[in-house]
Structure formats: structure tokens, C-alpha cells
Amino acid sequence: MHSLHSFWKTIFEVIKMAKAGMRRPSPEEPHGTESNHKTKFPKNDAPPVPEIQGKAKHGHEKAGRIN
């Protein structure tokens, strides 16, 4: 029974280890998109461009001007 306990302890240590040259971050540390950075560019105040309608949208010819 003692050898089984030491076996699982060794397996757990291997799983916990990082690959060579890489660090294993703590799960409690913020990572990925969990940072608190704000965007630095202003909001776009320009109105949206009207979407092409009908045949011009679904055909292969170049679309004409929107009236």
C-alpha cells in the first residue's frame, strides 16, 4: 500500500512539472484576457456605411453607386 501512495505522489509531481525551459504559472495569477487594461483609442463617432442591397450584393458584377 505504501508503494502505491509513493507511485501516485510521483505521478502528481510529474504532472505538476513544466516542460523544459517553460515555467508553470500559478492558477491563482491572472492570465490571458483577465488583465485590467483599458483600450487607448477613442470611440468611432462616424455613422455606419449603408449596406449594398439586392442584386448588387449577390451578383459577380461590380456594384454601381448607391443613390
What is the full per-residue pLDDT of the chain (67 aa) written as tens digits? 567 777 767 766 666 665 667 777 777 776 666 666 777 888 889 998 888 777 777 777 776 777 7
Evaluate whether 59 touches 53 at the Cβ level (below 8 Å).
no
Any alpha helices (H) in the chain, and if so which ranges? 2-16, 55-58
Grid coordinates belonging to 56: 448588387
Which 8-state DSSP code applies to residue 44?
P
CA angle 24, 30, 32 (to 5 degrees): 85
Which 8-state DSSP code applies to residue 29?
S
Question: What is d(CA 25, CA 21) in angstroms, rounded to the nearest whole number?
Answer: 13
